[in-house]
Amino acid sequence: MTITPHTLAVWADDQRAGLLDRSIDQHQYVFAYDPAAESPSAQVSLTMPVRLESWASRDLHPIFQMNLPEGALLEAIRRTVSKLIGEDDLTILRVTGGNQVGRNRFSLAADPAPGIVETKESLDELLSYPDTEELFNDLVAKYALRSGVSGVQPKVMLDATERGTAAVGGYIVKSWGSEYPQLAANEFFCMTAAKRAGLSVPEFHLSENGGLFVMKRFDLGERGEPLGFEDICSLQALATTRKYSSTYERVARTIKDFVSPAALLVAREQFFASLVLSCMVRNGDAHLKNFGVLYDRPGQLVQLAPVYDVVTTTAYIPKDVPALSLFGTKKWWSRRALERFAVSHLSLPVGRVGQILEKVAEAVTDTRGIVSAYMVEHPEYREVGNLQLASWEVGVANLVLI
């Protein structure tokens, strides 16, 4: 590959894996593994094994698209860098490349390593700061160029000292835009229901005034080492813009294709439970980028990633529907339809399917009490909270046995 001023080096963990560039004359992106790259440690994706032949794609390869910032974060980055160095995808990867979700990092081809600026905040201060709007604007100004994370919701990635310890952990901090007021508390209560249902979830917090949702990064190991993470959109070789262009049946097949046999049953049960949860809390945004797999490195155990990004979307879009289709339809399906899906596409026993449905329903019902108590102390949440509770009541009633 001819190295140009725009060529990026791609790093898998701390190993230089290869080079990425855009071929203008051939109208394609090209990634070529370094001849010295060791397989599988240098492998950038479960779908792209190390080989001599380069990997060419008309659009940026899905694994490299995966973490491209969206929405408010992308606009903040563009405002900062577009006049100086451009705003194409490779430029965005270049400026955010030292801090990405998953194992991959990016730098200029001549750089000896990805540039990482290490600073840390205090988790206690983030959660107790009185003016979270001011705080979040400061965090965006400080961390936007270090946040390789997707999603339309305003968010940044940062390191923070953990509560009551001197340990430093990686966190994602989210706020909301004017279209979706009180989204942080909305997500907090949905994630609380997921945790109560026994689903694997990251550590998460809600700031004292409800302005920020803070989630610990699950793609970092105990020593802060990056773990492999790939969302289902990437594994299905789809561009980020097609995250709604699939089916839950195909997600089930993708889980079977990529999750290790030893972890497959747990993955299938968690995926089904998360789909049930989305139906019960009326989360219409369970798209391909909101499911993923996690692993230490290619060739080792691949598991389904913890549950994340669950919100009651019908609190803002009353007639919202599921993100992906099931049995050819996008609607809030009946209990019978979900049971049929679990048996025929996830190979789950009927008895276990019933247990999952009842456990999720119990968790959502119990969490309703927490939402009601929060609204008493936080009147500003009443409008969204009442809409959330109404959605949950209908969602649970639609899936429990009468």
Angle at 286 between CA 283 and CA 292, to 5 degrees: 145
Nearest 10 degrees: Cα torsion 254, 256, 257, 259: 100
Amino acid symbol at 29 = Y
- Closest C-alpha to 76, from 154, 177, 6, 170: 154
Which three-class secondary structure state does DSSP give residue 14? coil
- pLDDT at residue number 176: 87
Quick one: the chain helix, strand, coil %, rounded to 5? 40, 20, 40
Q: Which pairs count as long-range contacts for 396-402, CB under 8 Å and 24+ apart, including other chains? A: 396/280, 396/361, 396/364, 396/365, 398/279, 398/280, 398/332, 398/334, 398/335, 399/276, 399/279, 399/280, 399/334, 399/335, 399/338, 399/357, 399/361, 400/335, 400/357, 400/358, 400/361, 401/335
Asked if the structure places residue 316 within a domain, the reply is yes
Asked whether the whole model's pTM tops 0.85, one would answer: yes
Quick check: is 281 in a domain? Answer: yes
243 falls within a domain: yes
Identify the domain containing residue 242 by its residue range.
228-397
Q: Let me know if residue 389 belongs to a domain.
A: yes
Residue at 61 is within a domain: no
CA 367/CA 363 separation, integer angstroms? 6
- Cβ atoms of 42 and 17 closer than 8 Å: yes
**Domain for residue 383, yes or no?**
yes
Q: Look up the CATH number of the domain holding residue 247.
A: 1.10.1070.20
**What is the spatial distance between Cα 9 and Cα 369, in angstroms, rounded to a whole number?**
51
Which residue in this structure is represented by tokens 């009353």? 318
Q: Is residue 233 part of a domain?
A: yes
Per-residue pLDDT of the chain (402 residues; tens, 9 = 90+): 666 667 999 999 889 999 999 987 768 999 999 998 888 899 999 999 999 999 999 999 999 999 888 887 888 887 777 655 666 888 888 888 888 999 999 998 888 888 766 678 899 989 999 899 899 888 888 888 777 788 777 889 888 988 766 678 899 999 988 889 999 999 999 999 999 999 999 999 999 999 999 999 999 998 889 999 999 999 999 999 999 999 999 999 999 999 999 999 999 999 999 999 999 999 999 999 999 999 999 999 999 999 999 999 999 999 999 999 999 999 999 999 999 999 999 999 999 999 999 999 999 999 999 999 999 999 999 999 999 999 999 999 999 864
356 is a domain residue: yes
Q: CA gyration radius for the chain? A: 21
**CA 263, CA 275: separation in Å to the nearest integer?**
18
- Matching residue, tokens 């790093």: 11
Please state the domain count of the chain. Answer: 1
Amino acid at 386: N
Residues belonging to the chain: 402
